[in-house]
Amino acid sequence: MSGVAIPWPVGGRLAQPPGNAGNFMLATVYILLIFLGISLGVIIMNWAERKVLAHMQVRLGPMRVGPHGLLQPVADALKLLLKEDLVPQGADRLVFWLAPVVVVMAAFSAFTAIPFGPTAAVSDLNIGIVFVLAIASLGVLGIILAGWSSNSHYPLLGALRSGAQMVSYEVTIGLAVVAVLLHTGTLSMVGIVRSQIESHRWLLFREPVAFGLFAVAMVAETNRSPFDRPEAESELVAGYHTEYSGFRWSLFMLGEYAGMMLVSAVAVTLWLGGWTRPFPNLHGGGVDVLFSFVPAASFLLLAGLALRAALKMPGHRRWRAQRGGLLAFGGLLLGLGLWLTVPTVRAQSQNVFWFVLKVAVFQYFFIWYRATFPRYRYDQLLRIGWRILVPTALANLLLSATLSLWLP
Amino acid sequence: MNQLPQGGKGARRGATPRWQRLLRWLPLDLWRGMALTFRRQAPSAVYTEQYPLQRPVVADRFRGAPRLNNDFETGETLCIACNLCALACPENLIVVGAQRNAQNRKELTFFTYDLSRCMFCGLCEDVCPTDALELTQDFELAAYSREGAIWDRQMLENGPTPKRYEK
């Protein structure tokens, strides 16, 4: 950042994130909010993945627990908590216990540097993106620990695959990120978004190749289909978490989904203008006001859908509880939507809304890939990583470095 | 581009023009696959049948639960206790009981049909001279015990009464 003070796009009470202001109380509140938000996101993602995946495969997905299976995540969580927590014979108990904790901690703690708005971050580190990538890479350690400590064949094979895969694709991620940093001139996450606001252009339009490379590599980095070699169920049972059950397994799942959101959040921050709304250059003629009503409108739309579904339910005695629950849910959404139309709330919340919406689009893409692509073979995966992605990333980096001498 | 290679490597090289080989760098098949899954997610495309709520339509010639028919005017059974079905049955699972009445006519006293051994070949209904025994389209034949699968005359006349669910 070239030291030019830019006015914050949307005025808040704070001039900077609480971590930078030294406000530990507020930072703690933000951490708790982010923790709750990510957990809620994982719950929604759990339902949405099963539902979207099912519909893409011309199935219905969960339908029995709550209307359209809305309470399915609750049932799943209950089941996981009540399951027996097995530790295999001969397992390294301490490491076996530590591994899922490492995965979850790595995925969650990297969120401290992600800006949901100009001031809506726990802390704006001056090495933000490096910190996020470094902490996110710790996840692979957890996976390798899990594979090693299980004292079993399949987890070990899965962990080895995961190690090779993640190390390979992190090279691509690093090179793609460096191409972005050429244009921003700062490592701070807030600074990266502000530089995009300053230049009136999302970096997607400046670095599309780097974005494409990152979009492929982040799927491999989070062990998602079609790069889900470490947990390839047709050959490795469940990969590195074969021996895990109950609560510890759910920690792995939590870590995986939080990791997906993390890499999506990084991609959104770096290439898609972070918290800025679509068409951030259009201001006049009530466009600002129009866009500020979008969060409220989308919540009201969801509320309308829920209430319509509740009213359309057959008037049978068995459906009474479900109808009541859905009515309450729709009412909650309606209240949130109405609350979001309050001018001060509208101004405060829209940054977070646009950020979350962009991340949600990425989550949809993750599910979409899973529904579409068959799993890559192990050698194919590494070949794509080292022989296509890394050379392309290098060439793109050199090219954009050269071009940026003449182009802004 | 997506065709199977015909012949050796040289033959394939000769067959596809250079520009098509360049196209391989654009993973068009991936995009086509994603377009397909995107189109298929429309709720109207769902193929699942929600069984207890939605009942399947069985084929016309489906042979399911047996039924003993009654004369719909008098309500008396059409069965004349001729025992032909029991003789025709390859599994010998039909037992017909009869008694001579005052007019020296055979009257049906009991009729058991062991569904647990039935293979629904339909020979019994083919051989029945009065169309009394018939294999219907009912398919819900589950029972809580082996004895429950042996249907008596009353069960055969009434047919299975599965619980109907409303959607």
Q: What is the pLDDT of residue A7?
A: 42
pTM: 0.79
Nearest by Cα to B147 from B111, B122, B113 = B113
Using a pLDDT cut of 70, give the percent of chain A over it. 93
* pLDDT bucket at A86, cuts 50 / 70 / 90: confident
Distance from CA of A52 to the nearest CA of B (A): 7
Read out DSSP for A42-55? HHHHHHHHHHHHHH
ipTM: 0.71
What are the φ and ψ backbone dihedral angles of B150, each rounded to 5 degrees?
Answer: -95, 110
CA dihedral (A181, A187, A193, A197) positive or negative:
negative
Q: Is residue A126 part of a domain?
A: yes
Q: What is the pLDDT of residue B13?
A: 55
Q: What is the pLDDT of residue A353?
A: 86
Question: A14-28, B24-38, B54-68 — which one is most confidently predicted on average?
Answer: B54-68
Nearest by Cα to A111 from A248, A228, A247, A257 = A257
Q: What is the pLDDT of residue B88?
A: 92
Q: Is residue A44 part of a domain?
A: yes
- Residue of chain A whose alpha carbon sits nearest to that of B25: A388
Q: What is the pLDDT of residue A327?
A: 84
Instruction: Quickly count: other Cβ atoms within 10 Å of residue B163's Cβ.
Output: 6
Please state, in angstroms and rounded to a whole number, the distance separating the CA atoms of residues B94 and B150.
10
Please state, in angstroms and rounded to a whole number, the distance separating the CA atoms of residues A179 and A403.
11
Residue ranges of alpha helices (H) inside A293-383 are: 294-312, 320-339, 343-372, 378-383
Domain count, chain A: 1
Q: Which of A58, A314, A369 lies at the smallest CB-CB distance from B166?
A: A314
- Give the residue-averaged pLDDT of A283-306: 81
Domain around A233: 21-293+341-403
Q: What is the pLDDT of residue A321?
A: 77
Nearest by Cα to A147 from A186, A219, A91 = A91
- Residue B103 token pair: 């007019």
Distance from CA of A290 to the nearest CA of B (A): 29
- Give the residue-averaged pLDDT of A138-167: 85
Q: Which of A56, A58, A316 lies at the smallest CB-CB distance from B166?
A: A316
Question: B46 and A58 in contact by Cβ < 8 A?
Answer: yes
Question: A60 and B46 in contact by Cβ < 8 A?
Answer: yes
Using a pLDDT cut of 90, give the percent of chain A over it. 10
- Give the residue-averaged pLDDT of A114-123: 82
Helix or strand (DSSP H, E) at B19? helix B18-23
Q: What is the pLDDT of residue A394?
A: 92
Mean pLDDT of chain A: 83
Q: Which of A60, A314, A372 lies at the smallest CB-CB distance from B37?
A: A372
Q: Is residue A235 part of a domain?
A: yes
Question: A368 and B50 in contact by Cβ < 8 A?
Answer: no
Write out chain A residues lying below 8 Å of B37, CB-based.
56, 368, 371-372
Tens digit of pLDDT for each residue in A333-363?
Answer: 888 888 887 777 777 788 888 889 999 999 9
Distance from CA of A170 to the nearest CA of B (A): 22
Show which of residues 366-405 on chain A sit within 8 Å of chain B, judged by CB atoms: 368-369, 371-373
Could you tell me which residues come within 8 angstroms of residue B9 by beta carbon, excluding any fewer than 6 positions away?
Answer: none
- Are A188 and A16 spatial neighbours (Cβ–Cβ below 8 Å)? no
- Give the residue-averaged pLDDT of A243-261: 87
Could you tell me which residues come within 8 angstroms of residue B75 by beta carbon, excluding any fewer than 6 positions away?
Answer: none
Architecture, CATH, for domain B66-158? 2-Layer Sandwich (3.30)
Which of A126-140, A210-224, A332-346, B113-127 is the least confident region?
Answer: A332-346
Question: B40 and A60 in contact by Cβ < 8 A?
Answer: no
Ramachandran assignment for A159, one of left (phi > 0), alpha (psi -120 to 50 degrees), beta (any other): alpha
Question: B37 and A368 in contact by Cβ < 8 A?
Answer: yes
Q: Is residue A251 part of a domain?
A: yes
Tens digit of pLDDT for each residue in A177-220?
Answer: 998 888 888 888 888 888 888 888 888 888 888 998 999 899 98
Please state, in angstroms and rounded to a whole number, the distance separating the CA atoms of residues A224 and A260.
8
- Residue of chain A whose alpha carbon sits nearest to that of B33: A372
A60 touches chain B (CB under 8 A): yes
Residue ranges of alpha helices (H) inside A17-152 are: 18-21, 24-56, 72-82, 93-109, 128-149
Q: What is the pLDDT of residue A401?
A: 87
Q: What is the pLDDT of residue A408?
A: 64
- Give the residue-averaged pLDDT of A52-67: 85
Tens digit of pLDDT for each residue in B45-71?
Answer: 888 888 888 888 889 889 989 999 988
Q: What is the pLDDT of residue A244?
A: 84
**Widest pairwise Cα distance in chain A:** 72
Q: What is the pLDDT of residue B15?
A: 66
Write out chain B residues lying below 8 Å of A316, CB-based.
166
Q: Is the pLDDT of residue A12 over 60?
A: no
- Residue of chain A whose alpha carbon sits nearest to that of B40: A56
Q: What is the pLDDT of residue B119?
A: 92
Write out chain B residues lying below 8 Å of A376, CB-based.
none
- Residue B46 token pair: 């769902």
Mean pLDDT of chain B: 84
Question: A164-168, A297-301, B116-120 — which one is most confidently predicted on average?
Answer: B116-120
- Residue of chain B whose alpha carbon sits nearest to that of A364: B38
Which residues of chain B approach chain A closer than 8 Å at the C-beta? 30, 33-34, 36-38, 40-43, 45-48, 50, 166-167
Q: Is the pLDDT of residue A65 over 50?
A: yes
Distance from CA of A155 to the nearest CA of B (A): 30
Q: Which of A56, A314, A373 lies at the smallest CB-CB distance from B30?
A: A373
- Give the residue-averaged pLDDT of A67-81: 85
Distance from CA of B166 to the nearest CA of A (A): 8
Question: B30 and A372 in contact by Cβ < 8 A?
Answer: yes
Q: Where are the beta strands (DSSP E) in B27-156?
A: 66-68, 94-100, 106-114, 133-135, 150-151
Write out chain B residues lying below 8 Å of A58, CB-based.
40, 45-48
Q: What is the pLDDT of residue B1?
A: 46
For CATH 3.30.70.3270, list the domain ranges present in chain B: 66-158
